[in-house]
Amino acid sequence: MRQLQLLGFLIAILQISYISAQNLPYIRCPMIFRYLEYENQFIGHLQLILDSTNTDNVVRVELSQPGRNTPSTPGTLNFLEDEDSLRHRLTNNEPINYRIDFPTPGVVPKLTKVTVNGKVACEAAPFRAPSTRLSLSRTLRTTVPLAAIPPSQRTDHQWPQAPQTNYTVYEEEEEEPVQRRRPQQSPPRPRPQQPPSRPRPQSVPQLPQESEFQISARPSVLPSNPPAQVSKSYPQTIGQLSGICGREKVIQTPFIHNGIEVERGQLPWMAALFEHVGRDYNFLCGGTLISARTVISAAHCFRFGSRNLPGERTIVSLGRNSLDLFSSGATVGVARLLIHEQYNPNVYTDADLALLQLANHVDIGDYIKPICLWNENFLLELPSGHKSYVAGWGEDEKGNRNTRLAKMTDTDIITQWECRGNLSEENAKFITSHTICASNAQASGPCSGDSGGGLMLQEQDIWMLRGVVSAGQRMTNRCNLTLPVIYTDVAKHIDWLVSSMWF
């Protein structure tokens, strides 16, 4: 492997013929730390084996620098290898190499403490006074999105799924050191590079129905997260939400009929749900942010047939138009899943609603913002032809299991009478007093993988959530969008939603 050869070369350059007569500080943990000479200066070389099952591996280093002069910066703690080598070493339980650059030329601090995820790996006494304590930290953040799912037996009645290629993304995050300091210049470090385009996993096959009537779904489940801790001021009521919700960042791209890519900052309430499976994350369903702590999605993503998946194995991606978890945005765990008490898998569309309590409040800004909810100032019964919009990462017209970037399209509300007239008697049972239908003359709209996403209205330049993607129809090898899509009508469940959501 070229990366490993390069690393060996770098270590060889830095290697010194052992430290003896250099008056260097005593090393308490020579198995994980040593001093190396580089360009007539000493640096520290730290080697640690990290836990590949952790999303974040936090390494903290404390040093003791002799003398009365307090340096303006504490030095730097960086990785000594590139992203590919980090990936290889982490997944194979091999030591990760860190480089410590000391702040004052000619002065070599003593290593006094190393902790990994809060556990002490090395500890030694500091220099006697006068001396200065230096603190450094570095987080290796890993996400494993879009993992493979074993293919199910395909039939003409199922939205297909296929095994996908897994990959891990590594993000280096430098945390603010403990000691007071001014901003510092750090050596260049490798940043995550977007991997080549590859197939994306899609939602699980849906319940077979007569006339190939299907839903889009994929269960979700991730390690349990603690309750959210309020650290900032967040909207605490519907009234407070109304002052910020439903406003999107100014975007130049207009809506068009046949589905276009969503720009980042457009529809900033869009959420992507991922299921945690082993060490991997699989794209699951869509969702919509309705408060700083609540995402709404479809109940059938979690409970359907023999599927009974707890929400704590789910993560929520916000502030992204891409399914790539390493891109700019927020990734939040789920502390609680609440399924509508009237949800019935036999007629799931009637109350196909699930609320996800985020493990942490999300910061609201240009790229992450809740959508507004329906209220009595707007129509409850929408006329035929009323314009609405839907967006998601689901299967596209070319048969791709997922789209790399979210796509959106407009779609027209149709009456229940019109909706029933376009469906078979068996499938018409999924139209209830708590559902709403929409259709698009250009046959564009939600498909497999779009379940749980929002049916959106734009009222007086404010975006409002009206429905949740629940069910659609399918032909032999693709979605049949010439026929209506059924959404659970959020407005018909508004009392439950407002009383159940978290702020």
Express each pLDDT in 469-480 by its tens digit: 998 876 656 677
Q: Average the pLDDT over each of 1-15, 123-137, 469-483 and give the range with the smallest value.
A: 1-15
Distance CA 372, CA 13 (A): 59
Distance CA 111, CA 231 (A): 33
CB atoms near residue 166 (< 10 Å): 17
Q: Average the pLDDT over each of 152-166, 194-208, 310-324 and give the range with the smallest value.
A: 152-166
Question: What pLDDT does 187 receive?
Answer: 37
Highest-confidence segment of 194-198, 280-284, 470-474: 280-284
Q: Residue 22's pLDDT band (boundaries 50, 70, 90)?
A: low
Question: What pLDDT does 201 receive?
Answer: 34
Question: What pLDDT does 247 receive?
Answer: 87
Question: What pLDDT does 250 receive?
Answer: 59
Q: Average the pLDDT over each of 23-37, 54-68, 206-220 and give the range with the smallest value.
A: 206-220
Residue 129 has pLDDT above 70, yes or no: yes
Q: What is the mean pLDDT of the chain?
A: 75
Calculate ∠ Cα 419-421-424, nearest 5°: 100
More confident of the two residues 31 and 277: 31
Question: What pLDDT does 409 receive?
Answer: 86
More confident of the two residues 200 and 143: 143
Claim: this prediction has a pTM higher than 0.75: no
- Counts of helices then strands in the chain (DSSP H, E): 6, 26
- Are 305 and 313 spatial neighbours (Cβ–Cβ below 8 Å)? no
Highest-confidence segment of 227-241, 249-263, 363-377: 363-377
Residue 34 has pLDDT above 90, yes or no: yes
Question: What pLDDT does 177 receive?
Answer: 33
Q: Which domains does the chain have, with CATH numbers?
A: 2-143+165-173 (no CATH), 213-253+262-371 (2.40.10.10), 372-499 (2.40.10.10)
How far lies 442's CA from each of 172, 311, 390, 407, 481, in Å? Answer: 45, 36, 14, 15, 8
Identify each DSSP E strand in 421-484 by its residue range. 435-439, 454-459, 462-473
Residue 335 has pLDDT above 90, yes or no: yes
